[in-house]
A and B are shown apart, each in its own frame.
Chain A
């Protein structure tokens, strides 16, 4: 319990900064929405004149774009990017922090098992991510309600926002397992940023179709937002893939950390 509370306190400042940043991002994007809505409404009238194949190519996403949910799904990728960086930072730093800041021998001679240490740290990171997401959801809902032009489904809004949590879980797990595998992590920032941006750019550049196996490469593409809007559910194969990644990564980090040689002074 002690460790959990201590980790919570040490993550507090970072979490406040990240929460404010993500909410500010959402607020800024929504404030741009009213101008977009007007433009897109004009275009939708134009679009109805095009042949069906062209509309099929662009139409699925563009039909929704005038609604606030469609706009939300468009801007949400940037919000997910920030959330993923936050989660990855937490994941890579929370275990390697001991080695980097030379507190490893202090912690490891305490009469607690290593798995208990990993559990409390993971739980603390998880709590902070949940707190960020809850506050973000509250903030985003308020702003979305303020700028909406027509009523939208709260359930769909919630489902889209929930994918933020899913992505964060995946990246937290990846971060933790990366931090225990790589022996000497002098600075975890290049690693975490590189991985997150790498996946983001990969996802943006590669994934095109709906059922590509290519989509499995980048966690950012696991949740296809137009699909969620149309079908009110997540795509099961990708949900399962994400869950598998989280479970395997966390299990691996437990196993590795328990057996690993930790340098007292590296």
Chain B
């Protein structure tokens, strides 16, 4: 319990900074919406662009003049930001001990390594839940402020749910890498590198429909935003598969950390 509270306190400042930044991001993103929605004629022009050109401009397959389509376009940037936060948090919270040379102090305490990991991951989980809620609330407020059409709070909630799963994936990935690697300080860079690759893959599969098989590698593409925008909800199969992935990463975190020789 001590561990849990201590980890929460240690991450408090970073969480506050990230929450403020996410709020500002949503704010500035929504501020640009008027530029997209104002021109009535531009509606048709945007829709007639060939798919690849739209992908290059970042619009993908959404109708960016409606609020839900625009939010889907903005959502990718929001998702990258929170995914970076989750990956760095996951790898950092495990690697922190060896980086700050506090391993010895922690390990001689009468708590098993398993419970140490449990509390750390739990604290990280609370952090990403808070960040998710902050983004959810700021999105709903900002969208309501600029929205001229239907209320899309339900769709925003679905977006945030899919984002939560992506956060979980990257959090557990970062933790697994940090627990596994002999030099845990570089786990942060590795987790971020994987995240960047996933981002690039998602952009590439946007550009050309032919390599859609690569989508497996990119958590950003696990959930189809077109489905959410059209009101079809999240695919249960993908949700379950993602949770299985998260569980696999978490279990490997536990297994690696208990077996690895820790640098004092």
Binding site for B on A (CB under 8 A): 25, 28-29, 32, 35-36, 39-40, 42-43, 46, 50-51, 54, 57-58, 62, 65, 71, 74-75, 78, 82, 85, 186-187, 189-190, 193-194, 197-198, 201-202, 204-206, 208
Contact = CB atoms under 8 A, between A and B. Distances in A.
Contacts of A205: 25, 28-29, 32, 74, 77
A185 B208 CA distance: 42
A6 B249 CA distance: 38
B21 interface: yes
Given A201-B25, A208-B35, A36 B207 contact: yes
B41 interface: yes
Residue of B14, B92, B99, B207 most packed against chain A (CB within 10 A)? B207
Given A189-B192, A197-B80, A201-B81, 8 more contacts: A25-B200, A32-B207, A35-B52, A39-B51, A78-B203, A82-B196, A190-B188, A205-B25
Contacts of B53: 36, 39-40, 43, 62, 65
Most buried by A among B14, B99, B100, B189: B189
Contact of B92 (A28, A29, A190): A190
Interface in B37-77: 39, 41-42, 45, 48-53, 56-58, 74, 77
A35 B209 CA distance: 10
Contacts of A194: 21, 84
B116 interface: no
Given A28-B204, A57-B39, A201 B77 contact: yes
A62 B59 CA distance: 14
Given A57-B39, A78-B203, A197-B81, A186 B99 contact: yes
Contacts of A78: 200, 203
Interface of B: 14, 21, 25, 28-29, 32, 35, 39, 41-42, 45, 48-53, 56-58, 74, 77, 80-81, 84, 88, 92, 99-100, 185, 188-189, 192, 196, 200, 203-204, 207-208, 210
Nearest to A43: B50
Contact of A40 (B14, B52, B88, B99): B52
A176 B59 CA distance: 36
Nearest to B21: A198
A35 B53 CA distance: 11
A39 B52 contact: yes
Contacts of A35: 52, 207-208, 210
B113 to A, nearest CB: 22
Contacts of B58: 204
6 contacts: A35-B210, A39-B52, A54-B41, A187-B185, A190-B92, A205-B25
Contact of A50 (B45, B56, B74, B80): B45
Q: Which 6 A-B pairs have the closest CB atoms?
A: A39-B50, A189-B188, A39-B52, A36-B52, A43-B50, A74-B56
B5 to A, nearest CB: 21
A25 to B, nearest CB: 6
A163 B58 CA distance: 21
A27 to B, nearest CB: 11
Contacts of B39: 57
Contact of B84 (A32, A51, A65, A197): A197
